Amino acid sequence: MIDIPKNLTQFLFEQTTEKEREWLEEKVKSNVLDLMTAFVAAPRFLSKKIVSYDSKSKGCLIPHQVGFQVDGWNLVRLSRVWLLLHLPTEPKEQFIKNIETLFDTAELNELVALYSALPLLPYPWEWLPRATDAVRSNMGFVFDAIALLNPYPELYFPELAWNQLVLKTIFNGKPIHWIYGIDRRKNKELAEAVSDFISERLAAGRKVPLQIWRLVSPFANESISPKLITLFTSELKAEREVAALVCFESTNPQVHSLLLKYPDLELSIQNGELDWSKLESIPE
C-alpha cells in the first residue's frame, strides 16, 4: 500500500455521506480482488457530484506532488484514485499485473481514473507505455486525463512522446496551457513541428490557435519572419500581441528587431501588462 497523504483522505471524506464513507472504508479492508471490483463498482455506491478543491486556500493534497490536482473531478473519480492507492504494492510483479488488468478491462471513466492516478503510483516508469497509449486515444476524456492538468507526462515522458502529446493537443483544438509543465519542456524539435503545422494551416486558409506560438518563440528564426510580419498587420489585436510576444522571446536578433516598429507593444510586455496568460482563451 502506498503511503496515502492525510490531506487526501480527509478531503475525500469531507465529500462523502456517512454511508459512502462506510462503503469505502469497508472496501479498503478487503482482499485485492474485492478492492479491484470496488474500483469497478464504485458508481453503484457513490454519487457523482463534482468536488471542488481550492488548493490556494487549502494547501496541497499530495505534498510531494505539487502538480496533482482534483478540482472539477467527480466523487467517483476521486474515490477510485484513492482505492487504487490501497492496493498492496508488493510484490512488484503482482501490483503491476493488477493495475494492468484494470487497464485492460477498463471502461471510459475507469480509464480516466487510472490515468489520473498515474503520478501517484509507485514504479512510475512501468506506466509509460500506457500513458503514451492514452495520447493516441480518440476518446476525448481519456486523452484529457493524461494530457491536461496531469503532472505525469512532464515528469516521465521522453521528448518524442512529450512532443506528440503537445501536437495532438493542438491538433484536437484543446488548450495547451492546460498541459502541466508546458513552458518548462519547450524544445527545438517541437518548435519546428509547430512551425510546420502553422505553415500548413495558413496555406490551407485556416487559422491556428494563437497560444501555440508560445512553443515557437524561443526558437524563432528568420524563416518565420514573414509570418510574423503578416501577424503584425492583422486587424485582430490578439494576433498583433502574439507577434510581439514571439519577437520579444526570440533569441534571434533579426526576429527580435521586428519588434522595434511596435514600441507600444514592447513596452506593455516589459511592464508585465502583456504575456501569454492574457491570451488564454480556448483556441477556436
Nine cell digits for residue 31: 482482499
Smallest distance from the beta carbon of 206 to another protein, in angstroms?
Answer: 8
Smallest distance from the beta carbon of 259 to another protein, in angstroms?
Answer: 32
Figure out which of the listed residues 15, 69, 86, 110 binds another protein, where binding follows CB under 8 A.
Answer: 110
Q: Using N-to-C axis directions, what is the helix angle for 75-84 and 32-45, rounded to 10°? A: 170
Residue 149 in the binding site for another protein (CB under 8 A): no
Q: Between 6 and 207, name the residue whose CB sits nearer to another protein.
A: 207
* Cβ count within 10 A of residue 128: 16
Q: Between 44 and 64, name the residue whose CB sits nearer to another protein.
A: 44
Smallest distance from the beta carbon of 234 to another protein, in angstroms?
Answer: 21
What's the Rg (C-alpha) of the chain?
Answer: 22
Smallest distance from the beta carbon of 110 to another protein, in angstroms?
Answer: 7
Cα–Cα distance measured from residue 111 to residue 168, given in angstroms and rounded to the nearest whole number: 19
- With residue 65 as reference, give the H or E element that holds it: none
Contacts of 260 (CB under 8 A, 6+ apart): 266
Residues 162-181 that bind another protein (CB under 8 A): 168, 171-174
Nine cell digits for residue 221: 528564426
> In one letter, which amino acid is 174?
K
* Cβ count within 10 A of residue 210: 21
Residue 203 in the binding site for another protein (CB under 8 A): no
DSSP classification of residue 204: T
Residue 31 in the binding site for another protein (CB under 8 A): no
> In one letter, which amino acid is 69?
Q
Smallest distance from the beta carbon of 71 to another protein, in angstroms?
Answer: 18
Positive or negative CA dihedral for 258, 261, 265, 269?
Answer: positive
Positive or negative CA dihedral for 177, 109, 51, 58?
Answer: negative
Cα–Cα distance measured from residue 58 to residue 93, given in angstroms and rounded to the nearest whole number: 37
Smallest distance from the beta carbon of 177 to another protein, in angstroms?
Answer: 15
Cα–Cα distance measured from residue 191 to residue 209, given in angstroms and rounded to the nearest whole number: 15
Q: Between 172 and 257, name the residue whose CB sits nearer to another protein.
A: 172
Q: Between 100 and 266, name the residue whose CB sits nearer to another protein.
A: 100
Q: Between 174 and 186, name the residue whose CB sits nearer to another protein.
A: 174
Q: Between 205 and 253, name the residue whose CB sits nearer to another protein.
A: 205
Residues 38-97 that bind another protein (CB under 8 A): 40-41, 43-44
Q: Between 4 and 40, name the residue whose CB sits nearer to another protein.
A: 40
Smallest distance from the beta carbon of 172 to another protein, in angstroms?
Answer: 4
Figure out which of the listed residues 23, 73, 115, 143 binds another protein, where binding follows CB under 8 A.
Answer: 143
Residue 205 in the binding site for another protein (CB under 8 A): no
Residue ranges binding another protein (CB under 8 A): 36-37, 40-41, 43-44, 101, 104-111, 138-141, 143-144, 168, 171-174, 206
